[in-house]
Amino acid sequence: MVRTRFTEEFGVRYPLVQGGMQWVGRAPLVAAVANAGALGFLTALTQPTPDELRAEIARCRELTDQPFGVNLTILPTINPPPYAEYRQAIIDSGVRIVETAGSNPAEHLQHFHAHGIKVIHKCTSVRHAVKAQSLGVDAVSIDGFECAGHPGEDDIPGLVLIPAAADRITVPMLASGGFADGRGLVAALALGADGISMGTRWMATVESGIHEKVKQRLVEAEERDTQLIFRQLRNTARVADNEVSREVVRRLNEGAAFEEVRDLVAGARGVKVYETGDVEHGIWSAGMVQTLIRDIPTCAELVERIIGEAGAVIRERLASALEPAAPVGA
Ligand code: NAD
């Protein structure tokens, strides 16, 4: 058992979260995470319309009686979605926890709070975490440079970012980016976090709906097998290394505008990777932590393993470091 302020305040058995993942955060995965005792988030924009998000929330409820949430990410998009309508679908569906990400949550926060919904804001810098806290979010998730998806533009890895944020944050704080196992959970707790949020690790589970070949690619891939695209556009995204991501980096390095890479990077193309298993077809998200992924467990196996490992690290490795040293010459 690992209990923290996060588990207490959010009513979750373990301090483990499955954060928003475009095209991946769907009901079967989120329900499996919830049934395993962790907190999963459906990704709102994965659903083509707000009504389909309502249906997805209902489908998730049929699969679990445990708490789960919905992620609402606000970033540049090729076709801007009707955010307020997605927000209303979340509110109408009686969801109790929301993860916001991508930009200042102020506008959405007031609506969610008016309906008693707790908001965890995910951000990639100490200043944004402090700002979100001052706006009244219920928790922050601080996302290090290691992460998949959008790491921001500051390039601060978790080892510095997490304790730097912990020194300024008084609400419960999750650490994200680069976590996959019990060692990571203990490290995050040591650095001042109240739990961890993972993305890439959950992609390689039995219940994640992506193609087996993509899961296998995550098992094979190492820490160097990611690319940072959109640096020049100040919308950096860490994605899997493949022919398409390398071509996008090449074109943008040569001064191309977004329009000139648009067809390559479109989410509508990237989602085909997850559907067909052709890992070279488009852009798909993966974090450096893929190097620590060596199998494809069920969510329940993964959660029990992480909690078991964390307990062992605390009881054995850390506790033994406190034992008195043997006398010299003994
Ligand atoms: P999309 O097809 O609209 O765009 C593909 C990528 O291009 C995204 O990374 C997007 O941020 C970027 N982009 C779009 N227009 C841009 C512009 N004018 N300048 C710079 N970059 C631009 O995106 P999608 O794959 O259909 O995803 C829909 C939304 O969900 C996007 O905002 C995306 O960033 C976001 N998203 C959410 C999560 C999550 O976990 N919630 C993860 C990844 C992406």
* Residue 44 predicted with pLDDT over 80: yes
Give the ligand 1 atom nearest the CA of 233.
20
Q: What 3-state class would DSSP assign to 178?
A: coil
Give 302 Cα–ligand 1 centroid separation in angstroms: 29
Provide the β-strand partners of residue 118.
97
* C-beta 257 within 6 A of ligand 1: no
Task: Please state whether beta strands 226-229 and 195-198 pair in parallel, antiparallel, or not at all (unpaired).
Answer: unpaired
* C-beta 20 within 6 A of ligand 1: yes
Nearest one of 280, 271, 254, 246 to 78, comparing CA atoms: 271
- Give all domains of the chain, ordered by start, each with its CATH number: 5-209+295-319 (3.20.20.70), 226-276 (no CATH)
Q: Give the C-alpha distances (Å, rounded to integers) separating 318 from 141, 159, 308.
A: 25, 18, 14
User: Measured between alpha carbons, how far is 278 from 282 in angstroms, rounded to an integer?
Assistant: 8
User: Measured between alpha carbons, how far is 26 from 41 in angstroms, rounded to an integer?
Assistant: 8
Give 183 Cα–ligand 1 centroid separation in angstroms: 31
User: Measured between alpha carbons, how far is 307 from 98 in angstroms, rounded to an integer?
Assistant: 24
User: Measured between alpha carbons, how far is 192 from 166 in angstroms, rounded to an integer?
Assistant: 5
189 torsion bin: left (phi>0), alpha (psi -120 to 50), beta (else): alpha
Question: Band of the pLDDT at 325, cuts 50, 70, 90?
Answer: confident
User: Measured between alpha carbons, how far is 208 from 220 in angstroms, rounded to an integer?
Assistant: 17
Question: Band of the pLDDT at 327, cuts 50, 70, 90?
Answer: confident
Q: Percent of the chain, pLDDT > 90?
A: 97
* Residue 290 predicted with pLDDT over 80: yes
* Residue 69 predicted with pLDDT over 80: yes
Given this model, what pLDDT does residue 324 score?
A: 83
Given this model, what pLDDT does residue 323 score?
A: 85
* C-beta 21 within 6 A of ligand 1: yes
Mean pLDDT along residues 122-151: 98
User: Measured between alpha carbons, how far is 26 from 28 in angstroms, rounded to an integer?
Assistant: 6
Nearest one of 215, 218, 195 to 207, comparing CA atoms: 215
Q: Percent of the chain, pLDDT > 70?
A: 100
Q: Which residue has the tokens 């249906």?
A: 55
Give the tens place of pLDDT for each residue, 216-270.
999 999 999 999 999 999 999 999 999 999 999 999 999 999 999 999 999 999 9
Give the ligand 1 atom nearest the CA of 269.
2
Give the ligand 1 atom nearest the CA of 237.
9
Question: Band of the pLDDT at 51, cuts 50, 70, 90?
Answer: very high
Give 113 Cα–ligand 1 centroid separation in angstroms: 26
User: Measured between alpha carbons, how far is 59 from 31 in angstroms, rounded to an integer?
Assistant: 9
Give 309 Cα–ligand 1 centroid separation in angstroms: 35
E-only strand ranges, 102-178: 118-123, 139-143, 173-176
Q: Which amino acid is at 136?
A: G
Do 184 and 196 touch, CB atoms closer than 8 A? yes
Question: Band of the pLDDT at 326, cuts 50, 70, 90?
Answer: confident
> Crossing angle, helix 83-92 and helix 106-114, to 10 degrees?
20
Provide the β-strand partners of residue 173.
140
Mean pLDDT along residues 117-125: 98
* Residue 328 predicted with pLDDT over 80: no
Give 203 Cα–ligand 1 centroid separation in angstroms: 18
Which residues touch 45 (CB under 8 Å, ≥6 apart)?
22, 72, 73, 77, 81, 86
* Residue 58 predicted with pLDDT over 70: yes
Dig out the tokens for 300 from the structure: 């329940």
Kindly report the average pLDDT of the chain as a whole number.
97
